[in-house]
Amino acid sequence: MASLKDIRQRIKAIKNIQKVTNAMKMVAAARLRRSQINMEQARSYARRINEVLQHLLPAIDRSLNHLLDFREPEQIGFVIVTADRGLCGGFNANIIRITTGLLQDYDREKVSLICIGKKGRNHFIRQGYNVIGEYVDFWNDLAFQHAAGIVEQITRLYLEHNLDQVFLIYNEFKNVVRQEVVTQQFLPLVLTEADEEDENSAELGEFLFEPSQQEIVNSLVPRHLNVQVWQALLESNAAEQAARMNAMGAATENASEMISTLTLEYNKARQAAITKELLEIVSGAEALVKA
């Protein structure tokens, strides 16, 4: 059995850890509230603009904008959104595991990665993947400009034929206790499966365009891309804070549990020591009486 001093030290250490995890939980909870509001406000706009695009895609001439070109996928880009920091449960591990699974279906030379967030960047560089873009250290002052900058790089690579197909992988915020890794094709734009269920979209048919199909497509498509990446960043940010809040909440609880087990052990050890001491005194006294 561990000595009293050892147990006391362990209890103290765990109490300190608990203070840290509890503080991190509070910080994450405060940030979560803010990022969740931002994310939810932007969500309706992102969904609507996607709906509009889904209605539009069957009705337009794809040759109007090169961002709509279908090409033989020689070079494939993956945009992976992770966090800058750890201690948020399976948040980063999940997305990295799912991405690695996806990447196994492709030749390494054909794959280029754009990593958003330090965790993903560090992992994929270490694994020797071709990382052509990295965006780190901006989560604290996340702004629409970040999304626009990322989209600018992706569209440039796509238009210069350096990438022929681009996927976007991020954690979607389902609710406070659940995040889900989603993979969506970013370029070229395609009809999403969810919308095929929506029967209206196929039957809309002809559209009238004002001022012209060309102008609508040229302004709507880039707008759509920016909004989708922006939404992915907001979702990931909210999901990260939620994951961290839960992970730190669980850690704080585990610490409480450990403290109570150790306290019990400590009390037992102390009782045993007292009993032992008493026995020694009593038997010492008896020995004196006999003598």
β 111-116/131-135 pair status: parallel
CB 99 within 8 A of CB 78: yes
Sign of torsion, CA 65 68 74 80? positive
Taking CB under 8 A as the criterion, the residue among 1, 44, 126, 141 binding another protein is 44
Taking CB under 8 A as the criterion, the residue among 51, 69, 172, 265 binding another protein is 51
Kind plus residue range of the DSSP H or E element containing 147: helix 144-159
Nearer to another protein, 106 or 209 (CB): 209
**216 binds another protein per the rule CB under 8 A:** yes
**211 binds another protein per the rule CB under 8 A:** yes
Taking CB under 8 A as the criterion, the residue among 49, 68, 148, 176 binding another protein is 49
Phi and psi at residue 183, in whole multiples of 5°?
-120, 125
User: Residue 52 corresponds to which tokens in the numbers above?
Assistant: 């509009």
Beta bridge partners of 114: 79, 133
Half-sphere CA count of 162, side-chain side, radius 13 A: 13
145 to 184: interface string for another protein, x by CB under 8 A:
----------------------------------------
Phi and psi at residue 11, in whole multiples of 5°?
-60, -40
Rounded least distance, CB 231 to another protein, Å: 10
What type of residue sits at position 44? Answer: S
User: Residue 133 corresponds to which tokens in the numbers above?
Assistant: 């873009």
- Specify whether 115 is catalytic: no
Nearer to another protein, 101 or 211 (CB): 211
Catalytic residue among 24, 88, 166, 238: 88
Considering CB under 8 A, how many residues would be counted as binding another protein? 25
Rounded least distance, CB 131 to another protein, Å: 30
As annotated, the active-site residues are 88
Contact positions vs another protein (CB under 8 A): 41-42, 44-45, 48-49, 51-52, 55-56, 200, 204-211, 215-216, 219-220, 223, 227
